[in-house]
Amino acid sequence: MSKLTPIPIDYSWAFSDKTIKDTSYITHGYYTYPAKFIPQLASKLINDYSEKNDIVIDPFMGSGTTIVESLVNSRVGIGTDINEIAYLLSKVKTTALNTSELTAAFDALYDELFLFASNGDAHTEIPIQNMQRIDYWFLPSQKKTLLNIFSKICLIENADVKDFFLIAFAQILKSCSIWLQKSVKPTRDHNKKKYEPILLFFQQAKRMIKKNEEFNKILPNEVKNNIERYRTVEYGDSRKLPCKSETAKLIVSSPPYVTSYEYADLHQLPLLWFGHLNDLSNYRKKYIGSAYRNRDDIDLKSATADDIISKLNKHKKSEEVKNYFADMLETFMEIRRVLKKGGKACIVIGNTEFNGVQILNAEVFQEQFENIGFRTDKVIHREIPSKMLPSTRNILTGQFTKKHDGDLKLAYPTEYIIVMEKL
Ligand SMILES: C[S@@+](CC[C@H](N)C(=O)[O-])C[C@H]1O[C@@H](n2cnc3c(N)ncnc32)[C@H](O)[C@@H]1O
């Protein structure tokens, strides 16, 4: 059992009074990113542990929640992610666009696409790689319409406006495919309800235009007018942060779990369309924990990690778990490099289980930090009332389930926020 388990749950960190409207306010509602944390959580940590103009970093920025909240709270936001969709999304979510420019582009797309709908002629000027994989996921009629939408977006000259509409396009892809609805595993459903891509696309774009307007209103002018100074988002690895040594005040991040390579699977539809996915198994290797390196001699700097790995010894997951803790330790060393003395690293993480062995992520991370020059400031134990992860899921169908079947069980009913201070 985890040493952290007896820590009482602090219900003030559950934010259970927050509605979907609250958690998807401003640009947070642009895209359904798996396992994102709610903006209120990021904002509270930012306000508790940093001041205006401080540098706040998220090495695993995902959909950019920490970066958006940093900007809204007048902090300098820096983020990286190894997923191209996460990078594009974070960039779009932190770019306050001019509403009239967006509306003009929307109207032009609307005219062109409805014109196409009436004469039935698809324009496919944009070369698409991976057409076979696209055919696997999309019915011909929907593919044809999506191709048309995609090629029109690609012709938009203003890069920020183009990226904005690419995110609207990415958001509708799952609904317009035969990907089994609500499944987190790539599974096809040939009886799936067919949505009309053009209607979905314009509904989504319209919603996003409203949210962009809200973002414009809420973003402090000083940040909006100096966005290049306040925001750095990069496609890159958590172990190479775009930040000078000892300059950052705060890290707010929720790292991937051991099976983080599943993010590659989850995002494969937009990755395919945007030409980032030539070889899925190779693509997965850049994710934390999944690099197939031999780590036999590595000192994980955590007795708990060593214990977990010895318990998993005969299980196929033991190498993956070792790689995962090794990669996370390297990330923590990079965090130590960028943080100022007294700066805090707030890591949001839950524990998991493989084959009856508890993977005590929070405890391992805490030990690793303590062994590289940090002290524990606080450990918050919180409930996750609305997290997008299922408490359990069927590993064959990927559908959410109440039963505990299969050897892989994901259960995050509560999680920890470990607050570590650099000494
Ligand atoms: C739990 S998600 C973060 C979600 C984020 N807090 C949000 O609100 O959207 C973890 C992220 O880690 C990213 N990741 C995995 N391996 C990485 C690596 N080596 N470097 C940077 N990011 C990585 C995944 O792509 C994923 O977006």
DSSP letters spanning 219-277: S-HHHHHTHHHHEEEEES-TTS-SS-TT-EEEEEE----TTTTHHHHHTHHHHHHTT--
- For the chain, the average pLDDT equals 88
Given ligand 1 and candidates 33, 56, 60, 61, which is best to mutate, with the most ligand atoms within 8 Å of its CB?
A: 60
Minimum mean pLDDT range among 117-126, 222-231, 331-340:
117-126
Using the mean position of ligand 1's atoms as its centre, give its distance from the Cα of residue 142 in Å: 30
Using the mean position of ligand 1's atoms as its centre, give its distance from the Cα of residue 116 in Å: 38
Residue pLDDT, tens place only, 398-414: 444 444 444 444 444 78
Whole-angstrom distance, CA of residue 228 vs CA of residue 232 = 7
76, containing H or E segment: strand 76-81
Question: In this model, does residue 315 exceed pLDDT 90?
Answer: no
Apex 177 CA angle, 171 and 181, nearest 5: 80
Residues linked to residue 319 through DSSP beta bridges, in sequence order: none
Based on its alpha-carbon atoms, the radius of gyration of the chain, rounded to whole angstroms, reads 22
Percent of the chain with pLDDT over 70: 86
- pLDDT value of residue 404: 44
Question: In this model, does residue 308 exceed pLDDT 80?
Answer: yes
Tokens of 12: 């003030």
- pLDDT value of residue 288: 81
pTM of the predicted model, to two decimals? 0.91
> Is the domain of 283 the same as that of 375?
yes
User: DSSP string spanning 278-314?
Assistant: S-HHHHHTTSTT------TT---S-HHHHHHHHHTTT
Identify whether 140 is part of a domain. yes
Query: Quick one: how many helices (H) and strands (E) in the chain?
Result: 17, 10
Identify whether 121 is part of a domain. yes
Using the mean position of ligand 1's atoms as its centre, give its distance from the Cα of residue 158 in Å: 28
Using the mean position of ligand 1's atoms as its centre, give its distance from the Cα of residue 61 in Å: 6
- pLDDT value of residue 5: 62
- The more confident residue out of 319 and 344 is 344
Where is the domain boundary, 188, 216, 244? 216
Q: Give the residue whose CA is nearest to atom 26 of ligand 1.
A: 62
Q: Is 134 in contact with 272 (CB distance < 8 Å)? A: yes
What letter represents residue 330's amino acid? E
Percent of the chain with pLDDT over 90: 66
> Is the domain of 224 the same as that of 84?
yes
Q: What is the mean pLDDT of residues 247-266?
A: 85
> Is the domain of 334 the same as that of 374?
yes
Residue pLDDT, tens place only, 359-384: 999 999 999 999 999 999 999 999 88
Q: What is the mean pLDDT of residues 27-41?
A: 93
Identify whether 167 is part of a domain. yes
Q: What is the mean pLDDT of residues 205-216?
A: 98
Q: Is 283 in contact with 144 (CB distance < 8 Å)? A: no
Q: How many domains does the chain have?
A: 2
Given ligand 1 and candidates 69, 81, 349, which is best to mutate, with the most ligand atoms within 8 Å of its CB?
A: 81
Identify whether 166 is part of a domain. yes
> Is the domain of 225 the same as that of 349?
yes
Using the mean position of ligand 1's atoms as its centre, give its distance from the Cα of residue 85 in Å: 11
Question: In this model, does residue 392 exceed pLDDT 70?
Answer: no
> Is the domain of 342 the same as that of 355?
yes
Residue pLDDT, tens place only, 165-183: 999 999 999 999 999 987 7
User: What is the domain extent for residue 185?
Assistant: 99-216
- pLDDT value of residue 397: 45
Apex 407 CA angle, 136 and 188, nearest 5: 15
Given ligand 1 and candidates 40, 41, 70, 82, which is best to mutate, with the most ligand atoms within 8 Å of its CB?
A: 82
> Is the domain of 88 the same as that of 116?
no
Residue 318: φ, ψ to 5°: -65, -40
